[in-house]
Structure formats: structure tokens, C-alpha cells
């Protein structure tokens, strides 16, 4: 068996502690699979005195994470997080010094992935990030190495467990978004500041990486239209159920005649389909690999064990000598996209909060018709004249821009009490 793969790791939080535990307590099977022992030799964290599940007291300690780049190790594992600061400085320094890098840092790669991939290639080392895209789901390796024969036509996924938990609980209990979010924070499923999750930013980071792997583009948040879930109401979820759908926050990237469409937004997904049936904090990705067909991946997208497992799988690949381009293609050949995503064409769910007065339905239908938007089905439940009521419509397939143009006019009516809600429909 070859000499051990020596590993330095920055960050000993939930995931880092899990990785340290796996490496320090590894049995012979892990070494057999890697063809060499995986040896954790140095660590760095903010608080040396903090009690941890894994005993790191005998390891070389670095107060400054960036100095790990100069230690006697073959690989640096970065689990600090953040697009800038010590995480970026460490990864850059490690790559420049000829060390392989494994990271779970989606923000870092979404902002600087192409430059870091180029740096890894210049140094002849690996940059691995299986844990950055969907926790324990092996989607990075699948897109980079497995589903390449026929190319990828589309990638769609539930990439944020916090949002999926909130939407699942809203459906199960009928409670408001705010109430379920507060519960998720108490249970540890949502951060104290949940903006990155519920605003769609976390999903956009992950989608940027999956899009780069699938379509050979530079990871870029600017090319992704991003919308969160804070505006989704229990009423929307109940209406979706009546139509046979469930609301999910999806990250989607697909080829269209107008170019590559990348977006993060709530979508109506048909119940009973693979994506539609993903519950709670689970993540899932559906990849359409052309003639090879669709491939569905589901699993835990966060947490100590799934993410630590993904980190160790990257270490095993490096131990076996798997280097290669980080995004499956040389960094210099990654294409840069410019401009907004092309307008989407699909059916849409529309909800209008209006006064229950004569003529309001005719006015809405007329404005939609003027924009060439036709209606497939509708639900209207009046209470009593002059009171607020919801009108819900499902359109036939139409252009997003046409719908948006009609809604802008409709929102200006004195009979419409709130901004209309518009959610695209997905097959599942």
C-alpha cells in the first residue's frame, strides 16, 4: 500500500468534526478502498479550547487557517465557509503551493470557481467539491464523470432543505410561512438569519455549480434569476393541492432555443412525481441526460454525516490519483454567459386577491387575453359582495414575459388588493 495521504483541515464545526471523526477512527476498509491510509495531520479552528466529539489534541494545531497551506500535508480540506476572507485565502494558497483542495464551500466556488479551477490546473492538483452542491448526494461526480456520453439537457433540483421543510410543513399543517419558519429555527433546520435560504441565494450558489458541470459554463450568480419563498401563502399551497400539484423551491438549468435558462424560484410540481414527493429536509436532483434518459438522485442535503461522507469520498478519489478538471472541462474552455435568462414558456398558476364586485373577473380575463394569455382552469370562491376574495387561474402554456406584462396592468386596478402571485408549473 502506498504512503498515507496526509490531510490538513480548516474548520471543526459540525461537518469538520464529522470528517475528523471519520478519519481518526477509520478502519482498514477505508484504506483499502483508497489504496492508502487517509491520515489527518493538522487542523485549524477559531477556538482551540472548545470541546469536540473528535479528539484532535494530538494533531498539529494552526491558529491561522491560512498557514495550513505551508504545512506538511498533501491535501487541504476547507470547511470554514464564505466567499472571501480566510476561506478564499487558504484555498488559493494551498493550490499555489501544490496541495490538493477539498471544500464544501458553495459560496466560494459560485463566486470564484473558474479562477480556482484554473489555479488548480496550473499547479497540477485537484479541486474537489462533492459536498458543496447537495450534501451527501453524489451529483457532482455524476455530472462531471458519469452522465457525459450524450450531454445534459436539463438539471432541476430541490437544493435547500430548509425551504423544503418549510413548504412541506405549511402543506401538512396549514400554518403560515412565518410560523413554520420560527419552528424550523427552534429545531435547528433554519439559521437565526435565514435570508440566504428562504431568499433562494443558497440554492443559487448550488445551481451555479451544477450548471457549470452540466453545461460547461463559468459559475455565475448573475446569470441566475433568483426568487425565494417568503411570499408563498397557505392558500397557494391549498390551491396547488386542488390542482394536483405541490409547491417546491427549485433550482433549474435547461437548454432552450433561446439559450441556457437558469433560475431559482417556487414552482408547482405535479404530486406523485419524483420531485413532487420529496419531503422535509431532503434534497433531490433530476438530470435529463439526453438519450441516456432522466436520472433521479435523492438524499440528505445537509448535516454532519451526509456532508462528511461527501468530503471523505473526495479524499478517496484524490488518494486514488483522480485529479482532472474541477468542472469537467479545462477552466479556459468554460463559457461565460451574459445577460438575463431567456423568457420561460410554461403554464402558470396565477392568484389574484380582489374585491368581490361585478366585473372583476371579466377585467382580469380581458387583460390576460390582451397579452395572449389563455386560461385552462379557474377557481373563484366569493364570500359576500364587496369583500376580499381570491381568484385562481391556471394558464395554458405561454411566455413568462406575456404573463408578467398582463399582471403589471392588472395590479394597477382599483379592484385588485395585492400584487398578483405568479408561479410556473413543472411536470415533476
Of 194-198, 275-279, 294-298, 340-344, least confident by mean pLDDT is 340-344
Neighbour count for residue 257 (Cβ, 10 Å): 6
CATH number of the domain enclosing 40: 3.40.50.720
Of 168-172, 380-384, 398-402, least confident by mean pLDDT is 380-384
370 has pLDDT over 90: yes
User: Same domain for 122 and 218?
Assistant: no
User: Same domain for 365 and 237?
Assistant: no
420 has pLDDT over 60: yes
User: Same domain for 103 and 224?
Assistant: no
Question: Is 162 strand, coil or helix?
Answer: helix
26 has pLDDT over 90: no
Neighbour count for residue 354 (Cβ, 10 Å): 22
Say what the pLDDT of residue 192 is: 86
Domain count, the chain: 3
Neighbour count for residue 4 (Cβ, 10 Å): 16
User: Same domain for 194 and 296?
Assistant: yes
The interaxial angle of helices 304-319 and 14-24, nearest 10 deg, is 50
Question: Which pLDDT tens digit goes with each residue over 206-227?
Answer: 999 999 999 999 999 999 999 9
pLDDT above 90 as % of the chain: 80
Q: Which three cell numbers stand for residue 218?
A: 463559468
Is residue 17 classed exposed, middle or buried when 0-12, 13-18 and 19+ CB atoms within 10 A define those classes? Answer: buried
Whether residue 355 contacts residue 371, with contact meaning beta carbons closer than 8 Å, is answered with no
Mean pLDDT of the chain: 93
Neighbour count for residue 370 (Cβ, 10 Å): 12
188 has pLDDT over 80: yes
In a domain, 188, yes or no: yes
Say what the pLDDT of residue 383 is: 66
User: Same domain for 123 and 172?
Assistant: no
In a domain, 225, yes or no: yes
Say what the pLDDT of residue 153 is: 95
Mean pLDDT for the stretch of residues 387-403? 93
Question: Which pLDDT tens digit goes with each residue over 280-296?
Answer: 989 999 999 999 999 99
Q: Which three cell numbers stand for residue 351?
A: 392568484
Residue closest to 14 by CA, chosen among 187, 186, 139, 188: 188
Question: Is 413 strand, coil or helix?
Answer: coil
Mean pLDDT for the stretch of residues 165-193? 92
Say what the pLDDT of residue 257 is: 87
User: Same domain for 114 and 158?
Assistant: no
Confidence category of residue 304, pLDDT binned at 50, 70, 90:
confident
> Where a domain ends, among 300, 319, 353?
300
2 has pLDDT over 60: yes
Whether residue 39 contacts residue 72, with contact meaning beta carbons closer than 8 Å, is answered with no
User: Same domain for 92 and 118?
Assistant: yes
Say what the pLDDT of residue 9 is: 97
> How far apart, in whole angstroms, are the C-alpha atoms of residue 397 and residue 38?
54
Mean pLDDT for the stretch of residues 37-54? 90
Domain range for 122: 5-132
1 has pLDDT over 60: no
More confident residue, 188 or 276: 276
Q: Which three cell numbers stand for residue 5?
A: 495521504
> How far apart, in whole angstroms, are the C-alpha atoms of residue 156 and residue 237?
21
Mean pLDDT for the stretch of residues 293-308? 90
Mean pLDDT for the stretch of residues 54-61? 90
> Where a domain ends, among 300, 327, 361?
300
Q: Which three cell numbers stand for residue 178?
A: 412565518
Helices (H), 152-224: 161-173, 177-187, 195-198, 201-215
Say what the pLDDT of residue 4 is: 94
In a domain, 331, yes or no: no
> How far apart, in whole angstroms, are the C-alpha atoms of residue 40 and residue 246?
45
Mean pLDDT for the stretch of residues 182-190? 88
User: Same domain for 247 and 146?
Assistant: yes
* Residue 128 phi, psi (nearest 5): -115, 145
Say what the pLDDT of residue 47 is: 87
Say what the pLDDT of residue 123 is: 97
Confidence category of residue 272, pLDDT binned at 50, 70, 90:
very high
Residue closest to 79 by CA, chosen among 113, 48, 44, 53: 44
User: Same domain for 150 and 222?
Assistant: yes
The catalytically annotated residue of 99, 128, 206, 248 is 206
206 is catalytic: yes
User: Same domain for 228 and 248?
Assistant: yes
User: Same domain for 352 and 370?
Assistant: yes
Q: Which residue in this structure is represented by grid cell 480540506?
A: 77
pLDDT above 70 as % of the chain: 99
Confidence category of residue 40, pLDDT binned at 50, 70, 90:
very high
Q: 374-381: long-range contacts at Cβ-Cβ below 8 A with a sequence spacing of 24 or more?
A: 374/398, 376/347, 377/243, 379/239, 379/242
Question: Which pLDDT tens digit goes with each residue over 95-154?
Answer: 999 999 999 999 999 999 999 999 999 999 999 999 999 888 999 999 999 999 999 999
> How far apart, in whole angstroms, are the C-alpha atoms of residue 9 and residue 54?
13
Is residue 122 classed exposed, middle or buried when 0-12, 13-18 and 19+ CB atoms within 10 A define those classes? Answer: exposed
Amino acid at each position: 500500500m502506498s504512503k498515507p495521504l496526509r490531510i490538513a483541515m480548516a474548520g471543526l464545526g459540525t461537518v469538520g468534526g464529522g470528517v475528523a471523526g471519520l478519519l481518526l477512527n477509520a478502519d482498514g476498509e477505508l484504506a483499502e478502498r483508497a489504496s492508502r491510509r487517509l491520515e489527518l495531520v493538522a487542523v485549524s479552528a477559531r477556538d482551540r479550547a472548545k470541546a469536540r466529539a473528535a479528539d484532535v489534541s494530538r494533531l498539529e494545531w494552526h491558529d491561522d487557517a491560512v498557514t495550513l497551506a505551508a504545512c506538511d500535508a498533501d491535501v487541504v480540506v476547507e470547511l470554514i465557509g464564505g466567499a472571501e476572507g480566510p476561506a478564499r485565502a487558504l484555498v488559493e494558497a494551498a493550490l499555489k503551493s501544490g496541495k490538493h483542495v477539498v471544500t464544501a464551500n458553495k459560496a466560494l466556488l459560485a463566486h470564484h470557481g473558474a479562477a480556482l479551477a484554473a489555479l488548480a490546473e496550473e499547479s497540477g492538483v485537484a479541486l474537489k467539491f462533492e459536498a458543496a452542491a447537495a450534501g451527501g448526494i453524489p451529483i457532482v461526480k455524476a455530472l462531471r464523470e458519469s452522465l457525459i456520453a450524450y450531454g445534459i439537457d436539463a438539471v432541476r433540483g430541490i437544493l435547500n432543505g430548509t425551504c423544503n421543510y418549510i413548504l412541506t410543513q405549511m402543506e401538512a399543517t396549514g400554518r403560515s410561512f412565518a410560523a413554520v419558519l420560527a419552528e424550523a429555527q427552534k429545531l435547528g433546520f433554519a439559521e437565526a438569519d435565514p435570508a440566504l435560504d428562504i431568499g433562494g441565494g443558497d440554492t443559487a450558489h448550488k445551481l451555479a455549480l451544477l450548471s457549470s458541470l452540466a453545461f460547461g459554463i463559468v459559475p455565475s450568480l448573475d446569470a441566475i434569476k433568483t426568487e425565494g419563498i417568503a411570499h408563498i401563502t397557505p392558500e397557494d399551497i391549498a390551491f396547488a393541492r386542488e390542482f394536483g400539484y405541490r409547491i417546491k423551491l427549485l433550482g433549474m438549468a435547461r437548454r432552450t432555443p433561446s439559450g441556457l435558462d437558469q433560475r431559482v424560484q417556487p414552482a408547482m410540481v405535479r404530486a406523485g412525481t419524483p420531485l413532487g414527493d420529496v419531503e422535509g429536509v431532503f434534497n433531490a436532483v433530476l438530470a435529463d441526460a439526453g438519450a441516456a434518459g432522466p436520472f433521479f438522485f435523492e438524499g440528505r442535503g445537509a448535516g454532519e454525516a451526509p456532508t462528511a461522507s461527501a468530503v471523505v469520498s473526495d479524499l478517496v478519489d484524490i488518494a486514488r490519483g483522480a485529479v482532472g478538471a474541477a468542472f469537467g472541462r479545462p477552466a479556459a474552455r468554460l463559457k461565460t454567459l451574459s445577460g438575463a435568462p431567456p423568457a420561460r414558456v410554461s403554464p402558470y398558476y396565477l392568484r389574484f386577491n380582489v374585491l368581490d364586485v361585478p366585473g372583476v373577473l371579466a377585467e382580469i380575463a380581458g387583460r390576460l387575453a390582451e397579452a395572449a394569455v389563455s386560461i385552462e382552469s379557474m377557481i373563484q370562491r366569493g364570500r359576500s359582495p364587496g369583500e376580499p376574495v381570491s381568484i385562481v387561474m391556471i394558464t395554458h402554456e405561454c411566455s413568462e414575459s406575456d404573463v408578467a406584462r398582463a399582471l403589471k396592468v392588472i395590479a394597477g386596478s382599483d379592484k385588485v388588493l395585492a400584487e398578483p402571485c405568479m408561479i410556473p408549473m413543472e411536470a415533476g
